[in-house]
Amino acid sequence: MNNHVTVLEIDGKALEHNLTYFKQKLKPETKILAVVKAFGYGSDSVEIAKFLEEKVDYFAVAFAAEGIALREAGIEAPILVLHPQVQTLQSIVDYRLEPNLYGFKVFDAFLKLADETPLMNYPIHLKFNTGLNRLGFWHTDIPKILSDLKETNHVKVQSLFSHLAASEDLEERDFTINQINNFAYIAQQFYKHLSYKPMLHILNTSGVVNYAEAQFDMVRIGIGLYGFGNDEKVTSTLKNTHNLTSIITQIHLIEPGETVGYNRAFVAKKPIKSATIPVGHADGISRRLGNKKGFVIINNQKAKIIGNVCMDMIMVDVTKIDCKEGDKVIIFNNQEMIQHIATVSETIVYETLTAISQRVKKVLNK
């Protein structure tokens, strides 16, 4: 049982609010895929999936092990594995997960497995590269794919999809529209030659915001579920889901000339009071936040981090704060604080959230 006093509280009401925000931009029949990879963007994928299972149509994870964890927790909804490896294909079948087949190596391996098992109309997803140049078949691969599919009834294409490269950047609108049009062309080739119509999806969080007309049959919501829209206006409409808190474990009185932390990075110029908090870079607190670049909230007041961030602890200046050992410490509890941490850490909100360690206790509040 995890009894770490540093806790990430996941706000279920905020999660539902964010889901509703995106639903309102969609047609009633458009399906929603909730992305819960990377431990639910640093939270708890199992708790997130349990909370959302009756509210969405699909889940997506990056790797097979993430999907297996959901199945073992009792999640029955369809789960798309975005980046399956050949060596995990048998596990994917064993746990009724649905693989994204993005190249001929994994495509051929899965068809071989499906034929030998044998499976019947097992759902697969085909990803096409339309400009992100990360994963996906090329449009020139379509004839061979169709030829191979006609030779088997052991698999069925559940969906065709692609991924937008710059959906949040309106200066790249022409590029994005070109991606969408290329994807529509790819879909047409399959619709012409298959006896059924796979689902189509290309929009991510920012895609839903900026290109809702291209929602096709399903959309994928990731960072938007957790309160960020890659746009200040959208983010202000969403609600923060991640609230990281801890406590003061010890208070020190530091005399002038004394130092705090590793490498003696902080030197007291006058008498100060410091508080030690049990959260550090092993928990996802970037070392860039040290030396007064980052802060926490104690009793409604800012307390700047002094010295270097340690692996398991940070020290903050509480000279002007009325506090005691055991008092609650807010590491972050709103989008502004999370964005500040990301900016100071020279990264993006995605990394700040997913960096939260699994040793931090996670609690979903409904």
Residues 198 and 289 in one domain: no
Q: Residue 165 sits in a domain of what CATH number?
A: 3.20.20.10
Q: Which residue has the tokens 């100071």?
A: 344
Q: What is the pLDDT of residue 4?
A: 84
> Considering the domain boundaries, does residue 2 fall inside one?
no
Q: What is the pLDDT of residue 1?
A: 65
Residues 248 and 221 in one domain: no
Q: What domain range includes position 173?
A: 12-228
Residue in 21, 31, 37, 95 annotated catalytic: 37
User: What is the spatial distance between Cα 229 and Cα 119, in angstroms, rounded to a whole number?
Assistant: 40
Q: Residue 282 sits in a domain of what CATH number?
A: 2.40.37.10
Residues 70 and 108 in one domain: yes
Active site residue 262: yes
Q: What is the pLDDT of residue 28?
A: 97
> Considering the domain boundaries, does residue 233 fall inside one?
no
Q: What is the pLDDT of residue 3?
A: 78
Last residue of a domain, one of 199, 228, 257: 228
Burial of 59 (0-12, 13-18, 19+ CB in 10 A): buried
> Considering the domain boundaries, does residue 307 fall inside one?
yes
> Considering the domain boundaries, does residue 31 fall inside one?
yes
User: What is the spatial distance between Cα 123 and Cα 77, in angstroms, rounded to a whole number?
Assistant: 13
> Considering the domain boundaries, does residue 1 fall inside one?
no
What's the maximum distance between 2 C-alpha atoms anywhere in the chain? 80
How does pLDDT run along the chain (366 residues), one tens digit per residue?
667 899 999 999 999 999 999 999 999 999 999 999 999 999 999 999 999 999 999 999 999 999 999 999 999 999 999 999 999 999 999 999 999 999 999 999 999 999 999 999 999 999 999 999 999 999 999 999 999 999 999 999 999 999 999 999 999 999 999 999 999 999 999 999 999 999 999 999 999 999 999 999 999 999 999 999 989 999 999 999 999 999 999 999 999 999 999 999 999 999 999 999 999 999 999 999 999 999 999 999 999 999 999 999 999 999 999 999 999 999 999 999 999 999 999 999 999 999 999 999 999 999
Q: Which residue has the tokens 């949040």?
A: 168
DSSP designation for 172 = G
Residues 147 and 190 in one domain: yes
Residue in 23, 156, 262, 350 annotated catalytic: 262
Residues 6+ apart with CB under 8 A from 110: 89, 99, 101, 124, 155
Residues 131 and 272 in one domain: no
> Considering the domain boundaries, does residue 170 fall inside one?
yes
Of 11, 31, 51, 334, whose CA–CA distance to 208 is shortest? 31
Strand pairing of 98-101 and 58-61? Answer: unpaired
Question: What is the domain count for the chain?
Answer: 2
- Model pTM score: 0.96
List the beta strands (DSSP E) in 174-247.
199-201, 218-221, 242-247
User: What is the spatial distance between Cα 21 and Cα 55, in angstroms, rounded to a whole number?
Assistant: 13
Active site residue 37: yes
